Amino acid sequence: MLQAAYIAQNRDAVVAGLQKKNFKDTDKVDQIIAIDEKRRKVKFDLDELLSQQNSIAKEIGQLFAQGKRDEADALKGKAPLLKEQSRELQEQLEALELEQYELLVTLPNLPHSSVPSGKTPEENEVVKQVGTIPTMASTAKPHWELLEQFGIVDLALGTKITGAGFPVYLGKGARLQRALVNFFLDEAIAAGYKEVNPPLMVNTDTAFGTGQLPDKEGQMYHATEDNYYLIPTAEVPVTNIHRDDILAEGDLPIRYCAYSPCFRREAGSYGKDVRGLNRVHQFEKVEIVQFQIPEKSYETLEGMVSHVERILQKLELPYRILRLCGGDMSFSSALTYDFEVYSAAQQRWLEVSSVSNFETFQSNRMKIRYKGNEDKKTQLVHTLNGSALALPRIVAALLENNQTAEGTVLLPKVLHSYTGFEVIG
């Protein structure tokens, strides 16, 4: 959520930023500024009235203490009018605050200056591409065929037990999941991230804090009896660890990594690109999260990108990094790098990670602040997170890209000690 004061002071830059993000209703910016002015005026008048009431009450108290009952009773008569007026202003203020808030939450974050303009995924900027794209034999199969052939993931069984998009991992498939999770966690821990094992259900405050509510309510599974939401990513509970905290600059950066299952309804995304493990409702992921001072957050972002790169290199997968254009970025991000892995049999790039700097967009919602070493000023931290990594598409790419002439799949060396086997099939 952007801050009203910032918008008022940087009106033109805000409008330009929103346009870059392909946000249409830039009129809202001026509305917010106008409401803010009105709001401050009402607040000022209200405070003045409250101040008067306070002093009357105080005076009455003193008169009573001096035994001057009559004077005190006389003063009491002045209160009702003030009270009525202030009640009115109070209502106005609340209405204005609500109105302003409702506008504010509809504004996406502003893009960083390095974000390319553009509206569609085709306009994302390819920052780099690493590894060679394997040329597959004509017998190469897409992963959904391999899953079935090897018996390592049963999608139909998941449908029977739960519904479409809830894969059942079996035998080597299950062990590969566990191996990847451990590998990713070990990499993160070695890079200085503290491991967190968070709740998989969160309350509304938490879901609001990272921006899932109100914008993406329909994308989360909702346990209505207790009003909890199943997490769509560990980012949600982990970033909320520091909700309402005031950290010390010396504590930053704070780095967390967390393994968790992720639950996504993916409402509305039926039909294409959903075969096999390409898009599922439940999957596993290791997430990395950082809290950093504003001056260093982009440096930190680059560090997170390098971390993900290292993992992909160790997995020997060809990948490319995209800097998302304004129109393709998420609502709350200021700069996002997407990682895509080339899936040889599908002959397409699969998104396996998304690493973003949210600047103060999330921290403003969550009131995550820090106190400076020097100036002792309290200000909002920058939050960042990224997948390192999400499993299903990694599994898909590993299977498809490492097919041998004999029809088996060779796992990359780095995983052998984790899986306890080297070949599937």
Partner RNA sequence: GGAGAGAUGGCAGAGCGGUCGAAUGCGGCGGUCUUGAAAACCGUUGGCUGUUAAAGGCCCGGGGGUUCGAAUCCCUCUCUCUCCGCCA
Contact assessment for residue 277 and residue 393, using Cβ atoms and an 8 Å cutoff: yes
The least CB distance from residue 46 to RNA, in Å, is 7
**Closest to RNA by CB, 43 or 265:** 43
Cα 189 versus chain centre, distance: 21
Which amino acid, one-letter code, is at 221?
Answer: Y
Q: Does 51 sit near RNA (CB under 7 A)?
A: yes
Among 9, 13, 30, 54, binds RNA (CB under 7 A): 54
- Residues 95 and 39: their CA atoms lie apart, in Å, by 9
What is the per-residue binding string for RNA in 66-85, x denoting contact by CB under 7 A? ------x---x--xx--x--
Q: Based on the shown chain and the rule CB under 7 A, indicate whether residue 372 belongs to the binding site for RNA.
A: no
Is 251 one of the binding residues for RNA (CB under 7 A)? no
Yes or no: say if 353 and 372 are a contact pair by the CB < 8 Å rule. no
Question: Integer distance in angstroms from the first to the last C-alpha of the chain?
Answer: 50
Q: Which of 11, 38, 43, 296 binds RNA (CB under 7 A)?
A: 43
Instruction: Work out how close the CB of 379 gets to RNA at its nearest, in angstroms, rounded to a whole number.
Output: 8
Please state the closest distance from residue 2 (CB atom) to RNA, in A. Answer: 13
**Closest separation in Å from C-beta 36 to RNA:** 8
Minimum CB distance to RNA smaller for 275 or for 371: 371
47 binds RNA (CB under 7 A): yes
Question: How distant is the alpha carbon of residue 123 from its chain centre?
Answer: 23
**Main-chain phi, psi angles of 35, to 5 degrees:** -65, -40
What letter would DSSP give residue 331? T
Q: In what order do the strands lie in the sheet with 201-202?
A: 201-202, 228-230, 222-223
Give the Cα separation of 278 and 275 in Å (integer): 6
191 binds RNA (CB under 7 A): no
Tell me phi and psi for residue 78, to 5 degrees.
Answer: -80, -15
Q: Is residue 64 a contact residue for RNA (CB under 7 A)? A: yes
CA distance 119 to 237: 31
Residues in 277-316 at the binding interface with RNA, rule: CB under 7 A:
none
Residues near RNA (CB under 7 A), total: 29
Should residue 60 be labelled a site residue for RNA when binding is judged by CB under 7 A?
yes
Q: Which of 25, 30, 31, 61 binds RNA (CB under 7 A)?
A: 61
Instruction: Return phi, psi of residue 214, to 5°.
Output: -85, -10
44 binds RNA (CB under 7 A): yes
Query: x/- site string to RNA, residues 81 to 120, per CB under 7 A?
Result: --x-------------------------------------
CA 216 vs CA 109, 296, 305, 331: distances in Å: 15, 29, 26, 10
Q: Which residues bind RNA (CB under 7 A)?
A: 5, 40, 43-44, 46-48, 50-51, 53-58, 60-62, 64-65, 72, 76, 79-80, 83, 246, 369, 371, 378
